Chain A
Amino acid sequence: MEPRLTIRFDPQSGVPAIRQIADNLRILLVEEKLAPGMQLPSMRRLAMELGVHFSTVAEAYRELAAEGWLDLRHGRGATVLARSVPSVRRKVWVDEFRDRLRGLIAQTRAGGASGDEVAAELRAAAKETAR
């Protein structure tokens, strides 16, 4: 049996709903758990399940469609596309990635996590990414 694919939304996290939904879906797309050709739930149903406004889900779907992950056609819902990896100059993505990672680490440590715990999580994530 195929494992159940889910996304989570925490209304109390402080992160905007659209960010959480788009990021959660993007993780599944990058990890290829959402494979090309798969159909996503309708915007109405996903909004209902997450308890967010319909337009929030629509905006998240549009963002992913603009990145080339989804095909949004009226009446057909959202279909996952086979996406070619865009070529980005190494300097550009590395700088942006480091900035975002530093911000996330600072935020997590400010929330009470120790440096060792964060480092362990980063090592685990690095191992998974390198697979």
Chain B
Amino acid sequence: MIRLVSIFISAFFGALLFMVPNMARRAVFFTLNVAPDFRASPAGRRAVSGFRGLVAFAVLIDFAAIFFAPEEALGAVVVASPALVLLAAMAGFLRQKHNVGRFASQSPAPGVREADLSSEPDKIPWFAWFGAVPFAMLAAAAAFLDRNWDRIPVRFPVHWNINDQPNRWADRTSLGVYGPLLFAAEFCAFLLALALAGWFGARRSRMRRIVLGTMIAVECMMALLFSGFAVNPVLQLPVWLIVLAPLPLMGIIVFVAVRRMTGSDGAAAPAPAGCWHAGGIYYNPGDPALLVEKPTGMGYTVNFGNHWSWVLTAGLVLIVASVRPLLL
């Protein structure tokens, strides 16, 4: 079973990486500014095929390694296989970036910014209400656990090794039972805060709506995963089912986000070049935006010159610090 699950995860991971060239605006290709119709040209198609060919090759090697690995080496192979696919994707990306370089526009993205003088209120999209759904899911899981408290074993597994054998247990205490739900609530609150910060703290663009939707969808997926994990001591679901259940949702999220992203024209809203440090850290105290689009066209990054960025960073530190007390 572990071989099948690993092959499925490897295939899924490969499929996600297949979409990487499309995870940017139409005018940005392998992080370079190009003509919007370049990706449909023969050279553009060649670059995508070259990248995907290398990823597919790495995934096939993974399949063979997982399928034929002896039992004693299976653990190491399963852990190493996503790393191999990731390395192949990185190498393919850099190679195609080099190839596309000669077609990239020589002039950088225009530095002139334009602002709409419309005074229409900045209404948040209707689907933002779905940001509350994960908390309802977690509350329902908590209510279920409370109602079935007596069915929870006094000691139950919370961690499994690669061979599906439990190697860490929790006791039937409030923290042991509700800890994963508390962690998930904290994580979802952080994701929701980030999604709202991306809406109210970024310049108006089509990308802002895509990022808001994606963040809320990821929040729902995390709540589903942790709810399944939390109720498992009662329902005794197979672990592989809990691990695999959110993957189709993740696939849909990435597919929809990519479709909408490539439908977006133009270069990223320009942020002053002198404010980017170490490749991707944006620090500009004079810019009131909390999140700005990356010059690569692949999503947003935080403006560390905005004091709210430190609140977000503190939230992230809090989440990392609570992994051990709430989950392990």
Residues of A within 8 A of B (CB): 4-12, 28, 34, 38-42, 44-54, 77
Contact = CB atoms under 8 A, between A and B. Distances in A.
B117 A34 contact: yes
B111 A12 contact: yes
Interface stretch (B65-73, B147-155, B219-227, B285-293): B285-293
Nearest to B115: A49
A41 B119 contact: yes
B3 to A, nearest CB: 52
Contacts of A47: 288
Given A48-B288, A52-B287, A9 B117 contact: no
Contacts of B118: 4-5, 41
22 contacts: A5-B118, A6-B114, A6-B117, A7-B117, A8-B113, A10-B112, A10-B113, A28-B117, A38-B119, A41-B116, A44-B288, A46-B115, A47-B288, A48-B201, A48-B202, A48-B288, A49-B113, A51-B272, A51-B289, A53-B287, A53-B288, A77-B119
Contact of A41 (B117, B203, B271, B286): B117
A49 to B, nearest CB: 4
A48 B203 contact: yes
B119 A8 contact: no
Contact of A51 (B116, B122, B201, B203): B203
A78 to B, nearest CB: 9
A89 B288 CA distance: 42
A100 to B, nearest CB: 23
A11 B111 contact: yes
Interface of B: 111-119, 122, 201-204, 271-272, 284, 286-289
A6 B115 CA distance: 5
B115 A41 contact: yes
Given A8-B115, A11-B272, 8 more contacts: A4-B118, A41-B116, A48-B289, A49-B114, A49-B203, A51-B272, A51-B287, A52-B287
A6 B201 CA distance: 20
Contact of A8 (B112, B271, B287, B288): B112
A11 B113 contact: yes
Contacts of B111: 10-12
Contacts of B114: 6-9, 49
A40 B115 contact: no
Nearest to B119: A39
A50 B287 CA distance: 8
A49 B112 CA distance: 11
A55 B240 CA distance: 55
A47 to B, nearest CB: 5
A54 B288 contact: yes
Nearest to A2: B118
Scoring B118, B119, B122, B288 by chain A CB atoms within 10 A of each residue's CB, the highest score goes to B288
Contacts of B289: 48, 51
Nearest to B292: A51
Contacts of A34: 117
B32 to A, nearest CB: 21
A48 B111 CA distance: 15
A51 B119 CA distance: 17
Contacts of B203: 48-49, 51
A4 B204 CA distance: 14
A49 B204 contact: yes
Contacts of B115: 6-9, 41, 46, 49-50
A1 B104 CA distance: 36
Nearest to B116: A6
Nearest to B204: A49
